[in-house]
Amino acid sequence: MSVSLTEEPIGVAVIGAGYWGPNLVRNFQASPSFRLRWLCDLDVARAQRALGQYSTVQATADLERVLDDPAVHAVAIATPAGTHLDVAMSALRAGKHVLVEKPLAARYPDGLRLVEEADRRGLVLMCDHTYCYTPAVLRIREMLRGGELGELHYLDSVRINLGLVQRDIDVIWDLAPHDLSILDFVLPDNVRPVSVAAAGADPIGAGRSCVAYLTLRLTGGAIAHVHVNWLSPIKVRTTLIGGSKRTMVWDDLNPTQRISVYDRGVDLAAPDELGAEQRREMLVSYRSGDMVAPAMPEREALRSMAEEYAGAIRTGRAPLTDGRSGLRVLEILEAASRSLAEGGASIPLESAVTPNAMAGSARREVAA
């Protein structure tokens, strides 16, 4: 099903009225690019409460009824990850464009099936990696990909707070998708994670890791580190990105200075033509320059995400956070789980070495 390249609003339905669904409802209602037609949830009363005064939007528990509506061109899925495959596949087979809350699916092979189905039908499959659409992350992507920070040396991310201990997933699957999707979004095209090692702990006996650390090796020798924690008494959302020219600090909890760019760092005073051992003999010099805090526009990330979804539907282009970006995040999550099970072993990421290798192995698993 296609939508003409006009200003006519795109008919959309939201599937799921739990924690995230009402946020999608609010933003689709506010967007001139969309017309919200349905909110579908097994609990119709909950859906009706989420809609509030929006009496023109229908609430239902019948997914087939929503997918049979020819006025619905697109759906947004905000249901538990274990249901993403069935719900999204049903929508794609009904000819609807699909937006899926993170993660794309519960397993890599399931996500791959969705990507292939969308490709086969010429439909948009987009991941709601909301943080990627914040003004700060969009600016980070621009600076890192544009070379303003220089060659990437390291990325260090901390996402910690008190709660909410999940019953069905560990802290990596709960919190790390945010940081991994941001990493995937901002990295230059020639830099990709090649391996991941994970360490986790369950000090309260919850039956799953409540504190975890992920270390990712990147092409070119850079490193990325992600700390996620359900047990911290304070909330921290900070990312440091160190480059050969500048270092950027993103403090998501500081509304007056979310991004700080430091012209400070370490330089090795040795010519490139020297060997590694000779370079180590040379003196290190320290660069101490200015700090700049770029002005950040205040714009809700979900609003930008909705406009990106609309733009992809109208033009047929891949959205910035398409299904394949969701697959790359899933691959890292599964490798991190394997690393935890193997006592922190470093797990290679096959897609970073041969882009089709992981897809091929997943196809074999699906076929089996």
Query: Per residue in 63-96, pLDDT tens?
Result: 999 999 999 999 999 999 999 999 999 999 999 9
Task: Report pLDDT digits (tens) over 223-281.
Answer: 999 999 999 999 999 999 999 999 999 999 998 899 999 997 676 665 555 666 665 66
Name the β-bridge partners of 356: none
Please state the rounded mean pLDDT for residues 129-155: 95
pLDDT-wise least confident of 14-28, 274-288, 289-303, 353-367: 353-367
Per-residue pLDDT at 162:
94
The architecture CATH gives domain 132-292: 2-Layer Sandwich (3.30)
Per-residue pLDDT at 268:
62
CA-nearest of 103, 104, 129 to 114 is: 104
Helical ranges in the chain per DSSP H:
21-30, 44-51, 63-67, 84-93, 108-121, 135-145, 171-186, 276-281, 301-315, 323-341, 350-353, 357-367
Residue 166 DSSP code: P
Judge contact between 77 and 51, C-beta under 8 A: no
Q: For the whole model, what pTM was predicted? A: 0.87
Q: What b/e sequence results for 63-72 when a residue is b if at least 16 CB atoms lie within 10 Å of its CB, and e otherwise?
A: beebbebeeb
Task: Report pLDDT digits (tens) over 282-315.
Answer: 666 666 777 889 888 888 999 999 999 999 999 9
Judge contact between 211 and 231, C-beta under 8 A: yes
Instruction: Round to whole Å and give the CA distance between 347 and 116.
Output: 26
Judge contact between 249 and 152, C-beta under 8 A: no
Please report where in the chains the tokens 């205040």 appear, as a residue: 298
Confidence bin at 322 (pLDDT 50/70/90): very high
